[in-house]
Amino acid sequence: MTTALSEQLPDRPVVPRSAQMADFLRLQIGYLPHERLLALYVDERLHLLSIEKVWEGSLGAAPLDVRQIVLHGLRVGASGILLVHNHPSGNPQPSTADLQVTQRLRGIVEHLDMFLLDHLIIARDQVASIEHFWREARFAGETG
C-alpha cells in the first residue's frame, strides 16, 4: 500500500492535509519509536519532486540544519517545501522547537522565492498542522 500511495503522489498536487497524504505519512512515520523529519519538495504546481529524510532522533536533541533543507530544495528546483515529522508519544501538539524551526524555515524560504506549505506532525493516527495551529492561535488572540 505504501508503494501504491507513493507512486500516486507525483501525479497529483500535494495537498498537505488531504486524506491521501495523511494515509501516506501515517504509514511512513506515524508509528516509529523515534522522531523522523521528512521534507517533501514540490514544484510551482505542487507536484512532488522529492521526499528526503532530513532528521532522525529527537528534534530537540541537536540543532536542525535548516540550510540543508533549503539547499536540497534549490538543487531539485523546488518552489515549495512541506515539512513532516512524527511524535512517537502520540501527542500531536507542536513543541516550542517545532514552532521555532517552522518559523525559521518559513522566513528563509520566503527570501528565496520559495514557500513553506506547512509543517505537519504525525502522532500515530493523528495529523496536526502547525499552520492550522497558528491560525487558531491568531483567532483566539494569541501570538504565533
Strands 80-86 and 115-123: what pairing? parallel
What pLDDT shows up at residue 143? 54
What pLDDT shows up at residue 33? 94
The secondary element (H helix, E strand) that includes residue 127 is: strand 126-129
- pLDDT by 10-residue block (mean), the chain, 144 residues: 51 82 94 95 95 82 81 97 96 92 94 96 95 80 59
The secondary element (H helix, E strand) that includes residue 51 is: strand 48-57
The whole model's pTM is what?
Answer: 0.85
What domains can be seen in the chain, in order of their start residue? 2-139 (3.40.140.10)
